[in-house]
Amino acid sequence: MSRLQRILAVAAALVSALTLLLGLAGGISVPLLIFGVAGLLTVARFFTPVSLWIDGAVAAFGAWALLDGLELFDVEPLWFWLALVACWLFAWLFVERLAQAIRAKAMPDALGIVIPVVFGLSLLFAWEVVTRGANVPQVLLPAPSMIWERLTASVPTLTADFVQTFKAVLAGFALGCSAGFVVAILVDRSPFLKRGLLPIGNFVSALPIIGIAPIMVMWFGFDWPSKAAVVVAMTFFPMLVNTVAGLNASSSIERDLMRTYAASYWETLFKLRLPAAAPFIFNALKINSTLALIGAIVAEFFGTPIVGMGFRISTEVGKLNIDLVWAEIAVAAVAGSAFYGVIALIERAVTFWHPSIRGGRT
């Protein structure tokens, strides 16, 4: 056991004991009582080996017991919060031990996925228990269960908003990326343009381009084309800069080889330089997938027909319907991650030869 693990183990058992002590005097619920006893019993680990799965099970049971005990009091007593801390400590200890076991090859590598999942779940759980237990104002932060309820209740609205916004995202993304790509290939043929355009492209990538949203809304109207225009402007420069950098990625020895084959410009481009540029291009696509979503949503703050994710967020915030806003954000988060994930998958398939993918880590 490492020092950190010992500290965690002692702390977890101690806090469990405190929970029991205070809870017995203050009307503890039966599940939490069991959790406290189980937590206390884990001190056995200092005499006999205790599997890490027991720590995990104690943490999971404690989480269930805490959720079960949420409605017992108007204002949660101190021991309730101690139980939350104990539960968190057990989860941490479990993750810590699992990580060590994987590192020492005592556990299969595939179990590594458990660690971030446990972390995410405990975050969600702490959010739920703290917001409901401490009666956090709903305006500030609604509980996840409430957001979920709202999300399932307003599926039609959310779908309509999603479709409206994603029209702009996809159209803008496709146009902006392909325009950046084509311009990069054109620029690549002229060293003069390359020297003149690239510093400007790099500079513009750092600018708050999102600010052109009001102008685009004026030019292209309230509907989705104006949002697509913002997305085009936002995605163009990262693509341009990355593609030009990628086209220079092939080494001169490889280009010389192509020359000895008497390959034409286009043959060299398609068979050598573009494949070599693929990692850069995908990097730009990944950056742009996030930028596109942000651009479309923020552009909707400046005026839309009465549908769209950005529109919904800005109006419902005004009405203090924060749970609907969170539901909208949850949809945006899932959509954003999925968009990114799809591009990452395509990247794996296309650039299978790249060291970062052959090495097994993305």
Partner 1 sequence: MRGLLEGKTVPVLIVLLAIVLFWYVMAAVMNAPWQTTLNTRAGLTDVPLFEFVAQTYAQDKPVLPAPHQVIGAIWNGLFGAAITAPRSLAFHASITLGATLLGFALGTALGVLLAVIIVHNNASDRSLMPWIIASQTVPILAIAPMVVVGLGAVGVTGLLPKALISMYLSFFPVVVGMVKGLRTPEPIQLDLMRTYNASPLQVFMKLRWPASVPILFASMKVGIAISLIGAVVGELSNSAGGGLGVRLLTGSYNGQTIQIWAALFIAAALAAILVMLVGWGERLANRRMGVRA
Binding site for partner 1 (CB under 8 A): 4, 92, 95-96, 98-100, 103, 112, 115-116, 118-120, 123, 137, 139-141, 192-193, 195-197, 199-200, 203, 206-208, 210-215, 217-219, 289-290, 293-294, 297-298, 301-303, 309-310, 313-314, 317-318, 320, 322, 325-326, 328-329, 332-333, 336-337, 339-340
Q: How far is the CB of 50 from partner 1 (least distance, A)?
A: 18
- Enumerate residues 6+ apart whose C-beta is below 8 A from 239: 176, 177, 179, 180, 181, 184, 281, 284, 285, 288
CB nearer to partner 1: give 98 or 269. Answer: 98
CB nearer to partner 1: give 220 or 263. Answer: 220
CB nearer to partner 1: give 25 or 338. Answer: 338
Tokens 């703050």 sit on residue: 301
What CA–CA distance (Å, rounded) separates 305 from 220? 13
Q: How far is the CB of 244 from partner 1 (least distance, A)?
A: 14
Q: How far is the CB of 68 from partner 1 (least distance, A)?
A: 26
Q: Which long-range contacts (CB under 8 A, 24 or more apart) does 124-130 make?
A: 125/63, 125/66, 125/67, 126/84, 126/88, 128/67, 129/66, 129/67, 129/70, 129/84, 130/84
Q: Which tokens belong to 231?
A: 């997305």
Q: How far is the CB of 180 from partner 1 (least distance, A)?
A: 16
Q: How far is the CB of 130 from partner 1 (least distance, A)?
A: 15
CB nearer to partner 1: give 19 or 243. Answer: 243
CB nearer to partner 1: give 5 or 145. Answer: 5
For the CA atoms of the chain, what is the radius of gyration? 27
CB nearer to partner 1: give 31 or 214. Answer: 214
Q: How far is the CB of 63 from partner 1 (least distance, A)?
A: 16
Q: Is the dihedral of CA 256, 258, 262, 264 positive or negative?
A: negative
Considering only CA atoms, which of 291, 300, 292, 336 is closest in space to residue 172?
292
